[in-house]
Amino acid sequence: MIKVKKVTLHLIEQKLLSPFVTGIGKVEKRESILVEVEDTEGVVGWGEVVAFSSPWYTEETIKTCWHMIEDFLVPQIVNEAYDHPQQLQNNFQSIKRNNMAKASIDMAFWDIYSKKQGISLSKAIGGTKNFIDSGVVVSLNSIEKVLSKIEEHIKAGYKRIKIKIKPGQDYKLLQQIRREFPTISLMVDANSAYSLKDTYHLKALDEFHLLMIEQPLAEDDIIDHAKLQKELQTPICLDESITSIDDARQAIELGSCRVMNIKIGRVGGMTEAIQIHNLCQSHQIPVWCGGMLETGISRAHNIALASLPNFTIPGDISASSRYWDRDVIDPEVVVENGRIAVPDGPGIGFNIDWEYIHHLTKQKKVLQ
């Protein structure tokens, strides 16, 4: 039984080790809201708001999430009793979208639930792996910088390289990469930077034998992606377009993609993420776990999610040291031989670095 005693929001800010650049946005300083939920028996679970400070990825921001959690979500959950975190989904149904805000509470509930069962989060959600393969993302930069980053990441053992592309920084860049690294497992992410008018241009990328092209078209589109997929040999992977199990079902029915990226925050929580995983599995659509430049708390949830059996493609789950000087969890997430060990301790399986969170905190509020 989970009955909420209080929810504490910790707004933190960290500087990324290097700026992260995509076709539509640049992140140098990363704000996050760490969500600490304590139940009436004193068990504490952690979640994280993975929205960015501005709405370049989806419409949510750190501020909209704070508002949603404080004014709508927490009032909805206090005085309620839950046998299982899945019940939260129904409870939140009357509140439209705001998935990243919802997900932060949902994650904390799953952490509490698995701690109370005395099992790891991975086990609680039906995970089957002890290790997950780790991939890495290279942000937009000059060709020389992208090439040297790829070399660095391959040496570090990452199993899959993803690069960001946009019109004008795609074909030639890929040509150079394939010249230097003809056989690496390579994929691209366009973050919606193209339209159907670019079909002919995107078809040309087929020659690079990419693992997939992620989200070439608009973030709210499923129909045009189906048209484009028919023209491309390269599998399309949807990211921004999939915000719920219904989006996933429609994309599968229309043939809008052959791969899906699942992010806990984007789909409104672990419960929805598991359902999308199961649906994709039943349609032989492989999935992988995307990244949000998150702290170790969200990263720990991602590791558990990626331990489900249909996560057959290495995700964007990298070592803490890929982004941060120091992470907010202890031990930090490490990659060894291209793999991350799935923790087997109760809940998310990492300790919280209180001292460091305190150091990073810009604003804190206890909601009861």
Question: What's the token pair of residue 137?
Answer: 């993302």
In whole angstroms, what is the distance from residue 13 CA to residue 11 CA?
Answer: 7
What is the closest distance, in whole angstroms, from the C-beta atom of residue 240 to Mg ion in the complex?
7
In whole angstroms, what is the distance from residue 215 CA to residue 217 CA?
Answer: 6
Between CA 42 and CA 47, with CA 43 as vertex, the angle to 5 degrees is 130
Instruction: Give the nearer residue to Mg ion in terms of CB position, either 214 or 221.
Output: 214
Handedness of CA 89, 95, 97, 100 (dihedral sign): negative
Instruction: Give the nearer residue to Mg ion in terms of CB position, either 74 or 264.
Output: 264
Interface residues with Mg ion (CB under 5 A) are 189, 214, 239
What is the closest distance, in whole angstroms, from the C-beta atom of residue 331 to Mg ion in the complex?
28
Closest CA to 98 of 221, 246, 239, 268: 268
Nearest residue to Mg ion on Cβ basis: 239
**How many CB atoms are located within 10 Å of the residue 207 CB?**
13
What is the closest distance, in whole angstroms, from the C-beta atom of residue 95 to Mg ion in the complex?
25
- Catalytic site positions: 164, 263
What is the closest distance, in whole angstroms, from the C-beta atom of residue 360 to Mg ion in the complex?
26
What is the closest distance, in whole angstroms, from the C-beta atom of residue 354 to Mg ion in the complex?
32
91: enclosing H helix or E strand: helix 87-91
Q: What three-state secondary structure class fits 123? A: helix
Instruction: Give the nearer residue to Mg ion in terms of CB position, either 127 or 290.
Output: 290
Instruction: Give the nearer residue to Mg ion in terms of CB position, either 139 or 275.
Output: 139
In whole angstroms, what is the distance from residue 344 CA to residue 129 CA?
Answer: 11
Question: What's the token pair of residue 326?
Answer: 């120091």
Instruction: Give the nearer residue to Mg ion in terms of CB position, either 110 or 311.
Output: 311
Q: What three-state secondary structure class fits 231? A: helix
